[in-house]
A and B are shown apart, each in its own frame.
Chain A
Amino acid sequence: MRKWVIYILSLFLVACEEVVIVDLPDSEGLLVVEGWIYNQEGPQEVQLSRSVPFYSSSSPTAISDAVVFINDNFGNSYLLTETSPGVYHTDSSVMGILGRLYSLEIQIDERRYRSDFERLKNVPVIDSIAFGSEFVRDPDNPFQEILEYFPIAFVDEPDSEADYYRWKVYQNGVLFNEPEDIVLQTDRFINGNAFQNELKEFRFNPQDSVSIELLSLTRESYDFFRLFVRQTTDLGTASGTSPAILRGNIRNEDNPNEDVIGYFGASAITSSYKIVQE
């Protein structure tokens, strides 16, 4: 809440940002896992990569030729096949089922990794979308104001306690995907109520199509995303916490001290769609 830049008289006080080159610690080349199973038609996707030095000009290295399975608590096991370097898919028939537990199993060379079991939790439907609007200064003409629209989503939150959600917002089919666009929510203050979420940070113009998804999270995946958001938005401000390793729920079965980054989660999705009318 305190990402402040002091702005008393703009003439005097302007914070400044300047690119610098800093000596960094040696690269660790860590395994990074990102995988989700949704209650939607497959294929379900898992990505495996290895971190690269911070200043490296290449993107993280894809890990190929790994053996990857998604297992559930009913004894089902689904093999994933590599469709492009580091990207593994199930059959398109594989679909997560509400209430089941899922886990990821990976073998890379001789090393075996396994995630904790994640429950695929239910998610309420988005009843409707409405729009709010606000006058803001026109970026092209500072003497003029224009009207911007933001969506408001209406949801009936179920009575069950400790529900966690993530919101995704798409503009004309494109996901808002900057770190600050990751909207997380707990039902701690709204449990069992009909509520409306004003997604004020997402701005639209007339005739834009707005699509909103609501995803269920477990407490663990919610915590992981919360750390993810803190690490990508707050660091370096007075309200930031100390940087931390983004450990998720995946472990090396033989060497629990190996740092593995990332998460394997299960999630149910509901969505709604509307066009912005003037």
Chain B
Amino acid sequence: MRRLLGTSILLLWLNLLGFSQAPKQLILQKSSYSIKSLFRELNNNYNLEFAFSNNVVNLKSTYIPSNSKISLEELLKELAKQNNLDFEINGQTIYLRHRKKTESRLVTISGIIKDKFNGEALIGAHVTIEGSTQGVTSNTYGFYSLSLPAGNYKLQATYTGYNDLSASVDLRANSKYDFVMEEQVSRLKEVVVTAREPDANVIDVIPGKNVLHFKSEGDIPYFLGEVDVLQGSLLLPGINNLGEDSNGINVRGGSADQNLILLDEATIYNASHFYGLISVFNPESVNDVEILKGSIPSQYGGRISSVINIRQKEGNNKEFHMAGGIGLVAARLTLEGPIKKDKSSFLIAGRRSILNLAIRNADFNNIGNNRANFEDFNFKVNLKPNEKNRLYVSGYYGNDRNETGFETFRRWGNRTLTFRWNRLLSEKLFSNFSVILSQYSYRVTDLREAGSFFGTSRIINYDTKLDYSYFLNPNNKFNFGAGTGLIRLNPGDRLPLPTSGSTNPVQLDTEHGFNSFLYANHETRVSRLKLAYGFRVSSLHNIGAGDVYVYDSEIRSTDNIIDTVSYNTKEVIKSYIGFEPRIAANVQLNSSMSIKASYNRNYQYLHLISNTISPAPTDIWKISDTYIKPTRADQYSIGLFKNFKNNEIETYVDFYYQDLNNILEYKTNADLLLNETIETEIISGTGRSYGLELMAKKSYGSLQGWVSYSLSRTERKVQGPAPELTINDGKYFPANSDQTHQFSCTGLYSLSERLSGSANFIFSTGRPITLPSDKFEFNDIIIPHFTERNQDRLPNYHRLDLSLKLQGRKVKKNGKIKKRIDYWTFSVYNVYARKNAFSYLFRESEVNPGQTEIVKYSILPTAIPAITYNFRL
């Protein structure tokens, strides 16, 4: 700039001492100027000085101000636009120069958005260009990329719970910039369902998405003082379960096996410890949980109802920390720290139940003969060999154990191992390569001498996948990728132990499935419309070796097997291919309101075989085969999203409709244990699910929380070619997970610096049940006769939980800051001791033999207090 000055021919100046600030508001006398006269007037009246090279400005050209009162900035903008100039204000001097021709060239700025304190990548943080609505969101690895015309920009990074961070960049060539953001200290450090950028609710293109963000300390305890990843989700609209003693969750009426639960990309087959009371994820090792229930982006597939994406923390790469806690249920310990400062880090976490959960069988009074416990371990390591490459290795190992009468031992659990390699191929092209292993197994050892046996079932999948993100410019982003994997499924073995004299071995054939996919997705933006559209092509090849039975009619039974076709190893038994379009659109009506709509199709090739009310740990999985077709779901949704008070309050209303095909149902009295001809027990149905979800959430201030409501209907229809393949005469009937109303309310209040309280209230319509009309006698036992399935309901469910968190003193008596941070939580589950019905029992009265009665059975009918202690060093 100074050089420009040196060569300037024309200098218009009056006041050499131009230290005063440039005036903000100008008043122009004339309605039309030549540039020369304009400069002179501004110089005379406001001491403004213009500096430029002689061929930059044509002094004779005319300028007509848009307004006689105009700010300097506006005037300069008008001038600049008209004459293709750039300007810069420096005190009283205004420098003018040609707009660079190279400006049409795009340059890319990219980098990682991370936490200042622990170096953890921030997922879903937003980077915007100040003064424009353009921006991008960081991906799962905290990576962002913005391609812009060369020039000076002020970029701003925003992330809920963190101070906004601005950076001035002079973009001339492709460059790297990492945003290192600082967490707000004044905020309540509680878990809050939070969208990531403050206005994500409105601007995000994907509808039906909720994120639970886990902070390092202090979350809402849900049951027995334990913070829980999945129990927490039950307070969100459209997510429920079948009662306190049930495994898994139901999203928009889907069954438990229709949720794709991923821990660092690895599939978790059974997400519950203690028969559903708590989930298998150690909250201390979890960074955040993203629940996608409305629109599933094309990189995910294989389950039709939702994606529950649990991401582990990376570990602090600045300094070493230890955290832990102890409560009534479990003890936890987490270690994290740098391997090489700022470059690489690790995290190891472990958890174990501390009391053997003694479980009493309702029928027999042998308390104490039945014990259950669990343990789990997590680890994650990340390495950064250089700026362009990053490696992650993470894993999970968990077990539940159960012991009956010191003779029967059961153990089940998940194991996962994920290897990921992030590579920046260019400033705009980000790639990730993953190799994933996940396994679920169940084993039982029965030591009762002559009949002793060892039983096992197992599912393992080995997957590899490659994902790319291409950031063309702030308005266009492409995601594409492909993957393939092998599923090995051992549906069950039952082998005699050496002590056994009377047991014969039973071994079912191992099933193999070869699962592949390809996807592409384009996120674009045209004015107020944001569009994310794409597709996924998925395929399944059920491959040998294996036998397929041929039945002489549609009504399959072991009596009408007419042939057996044997397939050799690697021979394809049956293959399926599915095209899955996915589209989501967001029309932003104004800065605080948008309409979102989506459509997507999903195929599910893997099914949990379970005919009980709630899935059991023993239930086996099944790969789609000749007879069991993939389940297909089409979901449509539309909603209105609105934020109030500068994003302090987020609200939405979302409608959805889902159409389901080839849902698995079971014959009456189906025998699913070690069954070689499982297809004879399974019938196929269709379904539909529709509803309305409302949510309002406040995530700032000393009072935070949310209110949610959903109104929904989930139905099944099973009409087969024979009466035993038909349910309720082929009419639509409510699914077990159907729930008309669900209302929940969660509040967190910061009482003082050290004390905060939280409350959850939940209300829902009772689950559908089947009632008897008659009673009769057979074998001298009185038995109810049941009518059509699921035509009635249990009473409404409601419950209030309260908790209080007391933070330890942060400062020692001598005034030094304590190194250890600790806190206590006190909680009460079911405060007013509501006797919520888990089910009805229909039986002969004990006091009045011959009389039948209906008994409401409640599992947790009393208020349950709990206490936990947590610390962090």
Name the residue in B243, B276, B450 with the highest tally of chain A Cβ atoms < 10 Å from its Cβ.
Answer: B450
Q: Binding site of A, secondary structure by majority: helix, strand, loop or mixed?
A: loop
Name the residue in B618, B669, B780 with the highest tally of chain A Cβ atoms < 10 Å from its Cβ.
Answer: B669
Q: Are A194 and B772 in contact (CB under 8 A)?
A: no
Q: Are A49 and B776 in contact (CB under 8 A)?
A: yes
User: Chain A 180-194 against B: per-residue CB contact (8 Å), 1 yes, 0 no?
Assistant: 101000001111111
| Residue A242 lies at the interface, judged by CB distance under 8 Å to chain B | yes
Q: Knowing A12-B864, A28-B773, A189-B503 are in contact, say whether A230-B669 is a contact too (CB < 8 A).
A: yes
Q: Knowing A12-B865, A189-B503, A236-B841 are in contact, say whether A60-B771 is a contact too (CB < 8 A).
A: no
Q: Are A195 and B771 in contact (CB under 8 A)?
A: no
Tell me the A154-208 residues at the B interface (CB within 8 Å). Answer: 157, 177-180, 182, 188-196, 198, 201
Total count of chain B residues near the partner, CB < 8 A = 89
Tell me the B175-234 residues at the A interface (CB within 8 Å). Answer: 224
Return the contact of B775 from the options A8, A51, A177 (Cβ within 8 A): A51
- A88 CB, nearest partner CB in chain B, Å: 15
Complex formed: what's the CA distance from A95 to B277 in Å?
A: 55
- A190 CB, nearest partner CB in chain B, Å: 5
Tell me the A218-263 residues at the B interface (CB within 8 Å). Answer: 223, 226-228, 230-233, 235-246, 261-263
| Residue A73 lies at the interface, judged by CB distance under 8 Å to chain B | no
| Residue A108 lies at the interface, judged by CB distance under 8 Å to chain B | no
Q: Are A18 and B858 in contact (CB under 8 A)?
A: yes
Name the residue in B772, B851, B860 with the highest tally of chain A Cβ atoms < 10 Å from its Cβ.
Answer: B772
| Residue B20 lies at the interface, judged by CB distance under 8 Å to chain A | no
Complex formed: what's the CA distance from A165 to B473 in Å?
A: 73
Q: Are A226 and B669 in contact (CB under 8 A)?
A: yes
Q: Knowing A17-B857, A18-B835, A195-B450 are in contact, say whether A240-B359 is a contact too (CB < 8 A).
A: no
Return the contact of B275 from the options A51, A57, A179, A238 (Cβ within 8 A): A238
**Residues of B close to A188: CB separation below 8 A:** 506, 674
- A10 CB, nearest partner CB in chain B, Å: 8
| Residue A143 lies at the interface, judged by CB distance under 8 Å to chain B | no
Return the contact of B773 from the options A26, A50, A232, A233 (Cβ within 8 A): A26
Q: Knowing A17-B856, A25-B791, A189-B504 are in contact, say whether A32-B669 is a contact too (CB < 8 A).
A: no
Q: Are A241 and B777 in contact (CB under 8 A)?
A: no
Q: Are A4 and B773 in contact (CB under 8 A)?
A: no
Q: Knowing A17-B855, A189-B494, A242-B789 are in contact, say whether A25-B771 is a contact too (CB < 8 A).
A: yes
**Residues of A close to B784: CB separation below 8 A:** 54, 231, 243
**Residues of A close to B839: CB separation below 8 A:** 235-237, 240
> B410's closest neighbor in chain A, by CB?
A1
User: Chain B 393-432 against A: per-residue CB contact (8 Å), 1 yes, 0 no?
Assistant: 0000000000000000000000000000000000000000
Q: Are B363 and A6 in contact (CB under 8 A)?
A: no
Q: Are B453 and A189 in contact (CB under 8 A)?
A: yes
Chain B residues proximal to chain A, CB less than 8 Å: 224, 242-243, 245-247, 275-277, 328-329, 355, 357-364, 366-367, 370, 448-451, 453, 494, 501-504, 506, 611-614, 616, 618, 666, 668-671, 674, 736, 770-781, 783-787, 789-792, 835, 838-842, 850-862, 864-865
Q: A1-B616, A52-B775 are in contact. List 7 more A-B contacts (CB 8 A).
A: A5-B362, A15-B362, A28-B774, A157-B502, A195-B450, A238-B243, A242-B611
A–B complex contacts, Cβ < 8 Å, 30 sampled? A4-B360, A4-B361, A6-B860, A8-B328, A8-B355, A12-B862, A13-B860, A17-B857, A21-B854, A26-B773, A30-B774, A50-B776, A51-B785, A54-B775, A157-B502, A189-B451, A189-B453, A193-B502, A194-B502, A227-B668, A227-B669, A232-B781, A232-B783, A237-B362, A238-B245, A238-B616, A240-B839, A242-B736, A245-B668, A262-B778
